[in-house]
A and B are shown apart, each in its own frame.
Chain A
Amino acid sequence: MIEINHSCTCNGNPLVPQVCRITDIRSETGDVKTFRAQTLDGKRPFLPMPGQLGMWSMPGIGEAMFSITAFGEDWIESSIKSVGELTEAMHELSVGDFVGLRGPYGNGFPADALKGSDILFIGGGIGAAPVRSLIRWCALHREQYGRFDIVCGARTIDDVPFREDFFENWPSMDNTEVHITVDRKTDNWDGSVAFIPDYVETLALPPENRKVVMCGPSIMIRLTTERLAKLGFARGDIITSMETRMKCGIGKCGRCNIGSKYVCLDGPVFTLTELDELPAE
Chain B
Amino acid sequence: MRLKKEDLNKILALLAKNRELFVPGQVRGIKQFKLWDGETPELDGENTVLPPKDILFPKTEKMYAYKTGTETEISEIVDAPERVIFGIRACDMHSIECMDSVFIREGYEDSFYARRRAKSLIVAVACPGAGVNCFCESMGLDPDAAPGADIFLSGGGEFYGVTANTEKGETELKKWTQYLTDGDVPKGEAHCSLAPAMSPELSEKLTGLFDDDEFWQEVTEPCLQCGTCSFVCPTCYCFDINQSSVGDEGVAFRCWDSCMFSDYNQNAGGHNTRPTKKQRLRNRYLHKLAYFNERHGMELCVGCGRCINKCPAHLDIAEFIDKAAEVCHD
Check A-B contact in the complex, CB < 8 A: yes
Q: Which residue of chain B has the shortest Cβ distance to A248 in the bound complex?
A: B241
Contact residues on B (Cβ < 8 Å of other chain), bracket: 35 or more
Contacts of A4 in B (CB 8 A): 106-107
A244 and B291 within 8 A (CB): no
Q: Does residue B217 face the partner (Cβ distance < 8 Å to A)? A: no
The answer for the CA separation of A150 and B297 in the assembled complex, in Å, is: 42
Interface stretch among A58-66, A112-120, A131-139, A267-275?
A58-66
Given known pairs A16-B74, A257-B291, the reply for A244 and B267 (CB within 8 Å) is yes
B73 and A260 within 8 A (CB): no
Given known pairs A13-B111, A59-B68, A260-B291, the reply for A254 and B238 (CB within 8 Å) is yes
The answer for the CA separation of A7 and B106 in the assembled complex, in Å, is: 11
Interface stretch among A83-91, A154-162, A167-175, A205-213?
A83-91
Within 8 A of A (CB), among B271-300: 273-274, 279, 283, 286-287, 290-292, 294-297
Between A8, A14, A255, the greatest number of chain B beta carbons within 10 A of the residue's beta carbon is seen for A255
B268 and A83 within 8 A (CB): yes
A253 and B257 within 8 A (CB): yes
**What number of A residues sit within 8 Å (CB to CB) of B?**
44
A60 and B238 within 8 A (CB): no
Contacts of A124 in B (CB 8 A): none
CB distance from B49 to the nearest CB of A (A): 23
A253 and B108 within 8 A (CB): no
A98 and B239 within 8 A (CB): no
Instruction: Return the contact of B264 from the options A61, A248, A255 (Cβ within 8 A).
Output: A255
Within 8 A of A (CB), among B30-77: 63-64, 66-68, 71-74, 76
Within 8 A of B (CB), among A192-213: none
Contacts of A8 in B (CB 8 A): 108
The answer for the CA separation of A8 and B107 in the assembled complex, in Å, is: 10
Instruction: Return the contact of A16 from the options B76, B250, B257 (Cβ within 8 A).
Output: B76
Q: Does residue B326 face the partner (Cβ distance < 8 Å to A)? A: no
CB distance from A281 to the nearest CB of B (A): 7
The answer for the CA separation of A55 and B254 in the assembled complex, in Å, is: 15
Interface of B: prevailing SS: mixed
A247 and B241 within 8 A (CB): yes
Instruction: Return the contact of B290 from the options A18, A61, A260, A280 (Cβ within 8 A).
Output: A260
Contacts of B292 in A (CB 8 A): 260
A265 and B107 within 8 A (CB): yes
Interface flags for A11-45 (1: CB within 8 Å of B; 0: not) read: 01111111100000000000000000000000000
CB distance from A59 to the nearest CB of B (A): 4
The answer for the CA separation of A260 and B291 in the assembled complex, in Å, is: 4
Contacts of B111 in A (CB 8 A): 12-15
Contacts of B201 in A (CB 8 A): none
Given known pairs A63-B241, A247-B239, the reply for A280 and B210 (CB within 8 Å) is yes
B265 and A16 within 8 A (CB): no
Q: Does residue B79 face the partner (Cβ distance < 8 Å to A)? A: no
Given known pairs A252-B102, A253-B238, A253-B257, the reply for A60 and B291 (CB within 8 Å) is no
Interface flags for B123-140 (1: CB within 8 Å of A; 0: not) read: 000000000000000000
Contacts of B274 in A (CB 8 A): 281
Q: Does residue A1 face the partner (Cβ distance < 8 Å to B)? A: yes
Within 8 A of B (CB), among A228-281: 244-245, 247-248, 250-255, 257, 259-260, 265, 279-281
The answer for the CA separation of A64 and B266 in the assembled complex, in Å, is: 13
Given known pairs A84-B268, A252-B239, the reply for A59 and B107 (CB within 8 Å) is no
A250 and B108 within 8 A (CB): yes
Contacts of A18 in B (CB 8 A): 74
Contacts of A140 in B (CB 8 A): none
The answer for the CA separation of A73 and B295 in the assembled complex, in Å, is: 36
CB distance from B256 to the nearest CB of A (A): 11
Contacts of A244 in B (CB 8 A): 265, 267, 273
Q: Does residue B231 face the partner (Cβ distance < 8 Å to A)? A: no
A residues with CB within 8 A of B: 1-2, 4, 7-8, 12-19, 57, 59-64, 83-87, 98, 100, 244-245, 247-248, 250-255, 257, 259-260, 265, 279-281
- 14 A-B residue pairings within 8 Å (CB atoms): A1-B297, A14-B110, A19-B74, A62-B242, A83-B268, A245-B266, A245-B267, A247-B239, A248-B241, A250-B108, A253-B238, A253-B240, A255-B238, A280-B210
Give 5 nearest A-B pairs by CB, closest first.
A84-B268, A254-B238, A98-B72, A59-B66, A260-B291
